[in-house]
Structure 1
Amino acid sequence: MIKISPSLLSADWMDLGKELERLHEWGADMVHCDVIDGLFAPNITFGMPMISALKRKSKLPLDVHLMIVEPERYIDKFISAGSDTIAFHPEASKKPHEVLEKIRSKGIKAGIALNPDVPVRVAEEFLGEIDYILLMGVFPGFGGQKFIPEVMDKIDESKQLIASRDIYVELDGGVTTENIVEMKKRGLDAAVAGNAVFAASDPAAAIVALKA
């Protein structure tokens, strides 16, 4: 069954403690944490202190997505803050292999994130160093964007690339209860959902529908 990782970008930031409790009650598998520095993507969210605070409250794994320039400058702190999985964009790093090694050396799952215009083949050189590929269904920065249809084929390409390796494919951006049906047919392993969960009239039912 596909895993669902609701994005806190779409949550009520004035009540994050309760939102974390609700996500557990609703049946989410992970909590997606979008860390944006305003340089790599046009938004600013939060950093290490927030990850640390979320870790103290969350009963679910923290699925951290670093949309920051030079993640090697901060990776040690994101690791110690309590991240359970960490994905970053290789083009934003001067030392991507070193970053991956640091993440995995602490028993944390490491991923490579690929923007819609970045080909899947970019992940090929990292296959021996990653636990997952995070495909972006939209350009990073803001929640509520519409899914870019061309990304659907990247699920197929990613599954072909990883072949029999112990690597999973996650997709972030524009996920709905409608388009996730096709994503699952193509073998998607995990999906990040923001508005599809938090803006739903019945978030628990929405998560059930996303997983079904």
Structure 2
Amino acid sequence: MDVTISPSILNCDIANLASEIEKVRNADYAHVDVMDNHFVPNLSWGLPVVEAVIRQDILPVDAHLMIEDADRWAPAYAEVGCDSVTFHAEAAVAPIRLAREIRRQGAKVGMALRPATDITPYIDLLPEIDMLLVMTVEPGFGGQSFLKSMMPKIRRTRDAISAANLQVAVQVDGGINRETICLAAEAGANVFVAGSAVYKAEDAYSEVEALRQLAKTHC
């Protein structure tokens, strides 16, 4: 599958939203982290900021919902125009029904797993989603160190997808930079969320291109 780069705006200057997204206009998505201070111990932003990013019409929005009661709230993010909506398996009571509702609203469906959550119970759900997000840090805060211990999990996920002959993307989020993107790509990931590495770079546009090329070649 094609390499996809999705910079997280968690590390951008939200007061200058349009110019910050314009810096990464060569990316595939703008990744928006929604945190409710319940599912994770941090509070970011919600639907109004997501709608503001969509209104810029610079990049499609990849929304990552780190929120409780995903069954209730996730479809609204698809309804307002997110291209992709990712909910956490741990926060969904009826993940299949939720996935189908998100898709009915016109968005692609992502399902995320915390580092300690095993992929095995969710393998049968893979046909219902477009993307499986393997968190490579504990969700809730940007700037954390990449968990190399997640590489076997990424491999198991990619193997399960291949065995079922599915076109499901594998996303990684957390600690992605020029070194770690190589490890994740080699393990089987093809969608990469990078926050600090992009927005703290001297040239965010060039950093997106550098990360893309490294992922394509597995370094």
1:92 match = 91
Local SS of the residue matching 1:23: coil
| Counterpart position of 2:4 | 3
1:61 CA displacement: 1.2
Cα distance, 1:143 vs structure 2: 0.5
Unpaired segments ≥5 residues, structure 2: 214-219
* Comparing 131-140 and 114-123, the one that deviates more: 114-123
Q: Flag as ranges the 4+ runs of structure 1 deviating above 3 A.
A: none
Q: Determine whether 1:200 maps to 2:201.
A: yes
Counterparts of 1:134-149 in structure 2, within 5 Å, are 134-149=133-148
Amino acid in the other structure paired with 2:122: A
Structure 1 equivalent of residue 216 of structure 2: none
Q: Give me the whole-angstrom Cα distance separating, in 1, the residues matched to 2:186 and 2:198.
A: 21
Aligned length: 210
Aligned partners of 1:206 and 1:23: how far apart in 2? 9
Counterpart in the other structure of 1:65: 64
Which secondary structure state, in structure 1, belongs to the residue aligned with residue 24 of structure 2? helix
TM-score, L = length of structure 2:
0.92
Mapped to 1, the partners of 2:40 and 2:160 lie a distance apart of 27
RMSD over equivalenced CA pairs, Å? 1.2
Query: How far 1:187 moved relative to its partner?
Result: 2.6
1:120 deviates by: 1.5
Q: Name the aligned partner's letter for residue 5 of structure 1.
A: S
Paired letter, 2:99: L
Q: TM-score, normalised by structure 1?
A: 0.95
**Aligned residues: percent identity?**
38
1:70-128 CA distances to partner (integer Å, 9 max, x unpaired)? 11221332122211101111121222222111011123110110111111113213112
* Aligned residues of 1:66 and 1:87 also touching (Cα < 8 A): yes
Any conservation in 1 of the 2:23–2:204 contact (CA below 8 Å)?
Answer: no
Secondary structure, counterpart of 1:40 in structure 2: coil
Q: Distance in 2 between matches of 1:122 and 1:22?
A: 39
- Look up the match of 2:217: none
Report the equivalent of 1:52: 51
